[in-house]
Amino acid sequence: MTRLILVSWLWAFSFGINKQWVAGADPVLVSFIRLALALLVLLPWLRLPRSGRSAAAGLMGIGAVQFGLMYVALNYCFIVLQAYQVALFTILTPLYVAMIHSRRAGRAPAGLYAAAAAALLGAALAERWAADSRTFWSAFAVMQVSNLAFAWGQVAYRDWRRRNPAESDVNIFGWLYLGGALVCAVWAVFGSNWAELFSYSPQRWGALLYLGLAASGAGFFLWNTGATQVKPGVLAVMNNLKTPLAVLVSALVWGAYAGMRPRDWLFLAAGTLLITGAAAAARRPAEET
């Protein structure tokens, strides 16, 4: 679970960095750049899986959904929403993880859904903002595409690794990044203005380097490999730890919550405790794998 906690902190900073210096750029180009940089992180260790090219194609398919589709939808939302609002719209991800795992495993343990519900409530307590009806429903719908893609991918990789225990994560994970990058590249060829890249400021390129190398390159590798080491309930819950952490970072670093009142801090603390408590409860041996 240590890997999931570390990545949650990485992503808590990513929301503000994305909104501060990257939002407004073509979301498909941004997605391609981030995944191309992520691929560079693991490229020196990339090897063909033991079961051959078909396995590599399967891993690329997981990456195309989990990273390619997810990122395009996510970066679109950064154009119309505040960073903490994007964080709020991710809170249904634990429920999607529970549903997808249940369907793939052929069973629906009550404890798994209880953990997901607790994580959802904890994130809802932590996030407090006034909805703008002009963007709420459209952005909410797009974010659910992003959430579903991310949830499906992490469960799919977890299952793939359990079927292929002899594989080394560091040797195969780059195939996921390649699949995601190719989806974004093809999309960008037909719908993006590549000349936009020449107008990016040094600050935007610096932000993209952090987002691509750290948040994506290291972050997704640590997250998916960490997902293989925990129970489904823990994985579902940990998807929402980034939400209260993003609120905390927004308050202390980006000043997005300058007007937070004492009760808002109380809700933030309560939400964080609920999420961490749910994760601890989900680690009990009775939880199904």
- Note the pLDDT tens digit of each residue in 57-88: 999 999 999 999 999 998 888 877 776 677 77
- Does the pLDDT of residue 200 top 60, yes or no? yes
- Residue 287 falls inside a structural domain: no
In a domain, 95, yes or no: yes
pLDDT at 135: 64
Look at the alpha carbons of 76, 78, 80, 81 in this order and tell me if their dihedral is positive or negative: positive
Cα–Cα nearest to 237, from 289, 277, 288, 285: 277
pLDDT of residue 33: 97
Let me know if residue 289 belongs to a domain: no
Q: How confident is the model at residue 134 (pLDDT cuts 50, 70, 90)?
A: low
More confident residue, 209 or 75: 209
Structure confidence at residue 28 (pLDDT) = 94
Mean pLDDT of 141-152: 94
pLDDT in tens, 237-258: 999 999 889 888 887 887 765 5
Most confident of 113-122, 132-141, 224-233, 265-274: 224-233
Q: Is residue 99 included in any domain, yes or no?
A: yes
Q: What does the pLDDT look like over 180-198, one tens digit per residue?
A: 999 999 999 988 999 999 9
Is the residue at 132 inside a domain? yes
Residue 10 counted as domain residue = yes
The predicted structure's pLDDT at residue 218: 97
Side-chain-side CA neighbours of residue 63 (13 Å) = 29
- The residues, any chain, with a CB within 8 Å of residue 177's CB and separated by 6 or more, are 35, 38, 39, 42, 63, 67, 216, 217, 220
Q: Among the listed ranges 50-64, 121-135, 188-202, which one has the minimum average pLDDT value?
A: 121-135
Q: Flag whether 13 is in a domain.
A: yes
Determine the pLDDT at residue 19.
Answer: 82
Determine which helix (DSSP H) or strand (DSSP E) holds 117, and give its type and residue range. helix 110-126
Give pLDDT, residue 263: 80
Task: Read off the pTM.
Answer: 0.90
Number of domains, the chain: 1
251 domain-assigned: yes
Domain that holds residue 22: 2-282
